[in-house]
Structure 1
């Protein structure tokens, strides 16, 4: 499977796991806690496979950057957590940085 597809699945697994961790209420709810553990295991497994094909720094920048943005959006939509203008600008800069790396850097390993 293409490394970018694996990376995308890994990011989604990490976002699901983080959302489940929030819902686990301090790991006191078994279902969400188990989903968090499984999601993180899948995310780390897949990201480790991606690192066999792409530079570690690029993988980590994309994985963590997009994960931050997506989990912030989940917090806003699902949990009603507010995002102020500086938070939204910061996330836009994260997405911009990932795009610059992917579109213009020879390090990204296209």
Structure 2
């Protein structure tokens, strides 16, 4: 359970950093640029802690999928970016892919690496 708490914090940090990246004007604005560094540092640190207990493929699928889907929503809400039927379908497919990866990992036998 603790791994998923770190994963949630990691996703929030990544979304924050990406939003700040948009606001940083090519990393020329000091405060948003500092937000980029802080957000990504928090994100990767918490992702590393998450990986102590959550399988890599599962954690990365959730991290990247949730980050992509939520960032698309934030772009549409904050900056009026296009939010078409195709974009909605893409988000649904991302979420479906996350579920597929998560369900397949519980059914297969995991080998220990380098043994």
Question: Do both share a fold (TM > 0.5)?
Answer: yes
The answer to whether the 8 A contact 2:14-2:43 is kept is yes
- Following the alignment from structure 1 to structure 2, what is the Cα–Cα distance between the partners of residues 99 and 89? 15
Q: CA deviation at 1:50?
A: 0.7
The answer to whether the 8 A contact 2:24-2:33 is kept is yes
Q: CA deviation at 1:49?
A: 0.7
Partner in structure 2 of residue 47 of structure 1: 47
Q: CA deviation at 1:76?
A: 0.5
Off by >2 Å, runs of 4+ in structure 1: 99-105
Q: Max radius of gyration: which structure?
A: 2
Q: CA deviation at 1:79?
A: 1.0
RMSD across aligned positions (CA): 1.8
Partner in structure 2 of residue 66 of structure 1: 66
Partner in structure 2 of residue 85 of structure 1: 85
Q: Deviations over 1:56-87 (max 9, x none)?
A: 11111110011000000000001111121111
Partner in structure 1 of residue 110 of structure 2: none
Matched residue count: 108
- Following the alignment from structure 2 to structure 1, what is the Cα–Cα distance between the partners of residues 13 and 79? 18
TM-score, normalised via structure 1 length: 0.90
SS at match of 1:53: coil
**Within-5 A mapping of 1:1-110:** 2-102=2-102, 105-106=105-106
Q: Deviations over 1:36-59 (max 9, x none)?
A: 110000000000111111111111
